[in-house]
A and B are shown apart, each in its own frame.
Chain A
Amino acid sequence: MGKTLAEKIWDDHIVRQAEGEPDLLYIDLQLVHEVTSAQAFDGLRLAGRKVRRPDLTIATEDHNTPTLDILKPIADPVSKLQIDTLRNNAKEFGIRIHSLGDADQGVVHVVGPQLGITQPGMTIVCGDSHTSTHGAFGAIAFGIGTSEVEHVLATQTLPSRRPKTMAINVEGTLKTGVTAKDIILAIIAQIGTGGGQGYIIEYRGSAIRELSMEGRMTVCNMSIEAGARAGLIAPDQKTFDYILGKPHAPEDFAAAQSYWETLFTDSDAKFDREITLDANTLEPFVTWGTNPGQGLPLNASVPNPADIKDSEERGAAERALEYMGLTAGTPLKKIAIDTVFLGSCTNGRIEDLRAAASVVEGKKIAPKLRMLVVPGSERVRQQAMKEGLDKVFLDFGAEWRNAGCSMCLGMNPDQLAVGERSASTSNRNFEGRQGKGGRTHLVSPLVAAATAIRGTLSSPADL
């Protein structure tokens, strides 16, 4: 019997296998950021251990960095200490770091692909659950905790249990205005936040193949929101073209590509679970609740918990409506928004900024609404400025910020106030995610832009 793509990559990385033990997997690349690494480096120091492969490791600052006045000393002393700690650790252990002000500083999952160090067939880890983003290149990429960060730093391997495999087939053609973000939000609504637990998801089908590399990254990025540690897509010509010319593209590109071309699921391979989604009927999707599975097409209304059969889900919906300050039956398009956040590892790449800019160009922002545009990396920011997108957003009335995770997780000063409601292109609508008491609706960049114009959840078709 043939193998799935995930099984091929997994098997190619087994350093050691023993009955009853997890496989010892070789890790091709570890991405490091300030929030989940300090305790790992401390552990190395205490044990007198070194980083085994500094040349398979790269660090940047993103989660806890300001998006304003980035070259001034960081005001919050605790944040400053965390950033300084990463800088000192990188220096001490010989790790490449891209700090604030550097062209390759930015959200760690935007930085890897733009440097061309994210490539097909790799195993990639990072102390961040959205590492699944890199699966868009046909890599097994997953988030790990700090103990595992330390383990990979010390050994360049990770003991891991072989996950089950799931195929999600998205067949058909997306309508205008429907995007990668809508695909993944619809998938999560269908299978739930735990639906992917224990699996690696392979996204397949004509609608996935049609997506750009950046769209594929958006889909893989939110695999974790469906409970799967990793999601991937078989590499194809688009993947190879994307890597070609990037700084770290293979020097012997032909040799690399001939290997990459073997990375697909064999026709006789079997997945442990298969799911199908019809792309033709998909609509722009938004969340109404406090987990990413609580989403609906934008044309729908806030659901009535009483209609939900499962008692656990009903209870969760009741709590979510209370937290979100929503009433059952309200059309989603009537929900007024205070803040629009465009950015994050989900939707902070250049195509996302272009898409949103094309909607807001020449328009004016809704009264009293604020919009933060936070490019995923400094390189994305520079590119956007070259194309004049900064001016489009500023003329529209949005704020143009420096790169980082920013309001996606509200760790830096970019936060929602209590009761403030956002339409956010990020990945999590958890209670308090964007600031204590803040209320988050997850949306695509197109919906974010249209919402900023109308002041209520909207798609460009409503303009």
Chain B
Amino acid sequence: MEKFISHTGTGVPLRRSNVDTDQIIPAVYLKRVTRSGFEDGLFSAWRSDPEFVLNKDEFKGGTVLVAGPEFGTGSSREHAVWALQNYGFKAVISSRFADIFRGNSLKGGLLTVILPQEAVEAIWQAIEVAPSTAITVDLETRTVTYNDVSVPFELDDYTRWRLMEGLDDIGLTLKHTDSIDAFESKRASYKPTTLPIRI
């Protein structure tokens, strides 16, 4: 995973709540067996509308999505994270994220930042007035900064460290193989197994 320390880019205001994973990327786009190429499905139902924010010239090239509350509800599809990343987003700001989406994003290096709704509202206004406003999302200081405004956000130390180091969870867990072996040796024998097959 690529390290995330700090990112500066322009914002894209998505003034909608409950943007679910079927809207981020509909199921028909989930057939690929790779991790790339999902940008064509991103918000696909809305992309045909010239008024949709991603189609507006002033917001093209934006890398920080500023979304309404309950972003990423619904499915566990990590393709939603890949679609946002494949399109070029590095961070998403919202007042509330669905749990699975947030977990997926932080595993994959897309920084999801939780800010109070008033702060999200203020960023929306700032970038709608001046789309070229630079937004900095900084993990070192755990702040979002734009113009002369700096808003702190919370992220637990462990996740922050993992993102800043670009560490892969599997590698970290495999250091504890002894603990897994020990746990397995004590598992109850009546716990089910899928093999051998019983019908």
Contact = CB atoms under 8 A, between A and B. Distances in A.
Interface residues of A, number: 91
A336 interface: no
A119 interface: yes
Given A147-B104, A147-B169, A36 B76 contact: yes
A250 B190 contact: yes
A79 B28 CA distance: 9
Contacts of B157: 20
Contacts of A78: 31-32
Given A197-B99, A312-B17, A147 B158 contact: no
A147 B199 contact: no
Interface stretch (A48-56, A270-278, A360-368, A442-450): A48-56
The residue in B32, B81, B103 that gathers the most chain A C-beta atoms within 10 A of its C-beta is: B103
A127 interface: yes
Contact of B69 (A36, A194, A290): A194
B76 A127 contact: yes
A255 B190 contact: yes
B191 interface: yes
A57 B76 contact: no
B195 interface: yes
B75 A147 contact: no
Contacts of B27: 63, 409-411, 433
Given A55-B193, A96-B195, A155-B174, A24 B74 contact: no
B96 A436 contact: no
Contacts of A410: 26-28
Contacts of B184: 26, 156
A436 B195 contact: no
Interface string B130-155: 00000000000000000000000000
The residue in B20, B179, B191, B192 that gathers the most chain A C-beta atoms within 10 A of its C-beta is: B192
B190 A251 contact: yes
Nearest to B30: A35
Given A154-B170, A316-B17, A432 B26 contact: yes
Contact of A194 (B96, B100, B173, B177): B96
B68 interface: yes
Nearest to B48: A436
A253 B189 CA distance: 11
B183 A15 contact: yes
Nearest to A17: B179
Given A36-B77, A78-B31, A129-B74, A151 B173 contact: yes
Given A256-B190, A291-B18, A436-B45, A312 B104 contact: no
A252 interface: yes
The residue in A28, A193, A252 that gathers the most chain B C-beta atoms within 10 A of its C-beta is: A193
Contacts of A428: 20, 22, 74
Contacts of A436: 26, 44-45
Contacts of B68: 312
A39 B22 contact: no
Interface string A132-168: 0000000000111111101100111101000000000
Contacts of B57: none
Contact of B197 (A63, A96, A253, A290): A96
Contacts of A2: none
Interface string B164-199: 000001101110110110011001111111110111
Given A143-B76, A227-B98, A57 B170 contact: no
A341 B55 CA distance: 35
Contact of A117 (B31, B70, B78, B192): B192
B170 A47 contact: yes
Interface string A108-129: 0000000111010010000111
Interface of B: 16-18, 20, 22-23, 26-28, 30-35, 44-45, 68-70, 73-79, 81, 96, 98-100, 103-104, 107-108, 117, 156-158, 169-170, 172-174, 176-177, 179-180, 183-184, 187-195, 197-199
Interface of A: 15-16, 20-22, 24, 26, 28-29, 35-36, 38-39, 42-43, 47, 49, 52, 54-58, 63-64, 76, 78-79, 81-82, 85, 96, 103-104, 115-117, 119, 122, 127-129, 131, 142-148, 150-151, 154-157, 159, 193-194, 197-198, 224, 227-229, 247-248, 250-253, 255-256, 259, 290-291, 312-313, 315-316, 319, 409-411, 428, 430-433, 436-437
Would you list the 10 A-B pairs with minimal beta carbon distance, nearest first?
A: A145-B104, A145-B78, A143-B76, A38-B33, A411-B27, A256-B190, A55-B195, A146-B78, A250-B190, A430-B22
5 contacts: A128-B76, A145-B100, A151-B170, A194-B98, A431-B22
Given A39-B35, A54-B195, 13 more contacts: A20-B156, A20-B158, A26-B180, A36-B76, A39-B78, A57-B194, A122-B191, A145-B104, A155-B174, A253-B190, A312-B68, A316-B16, A411-B27
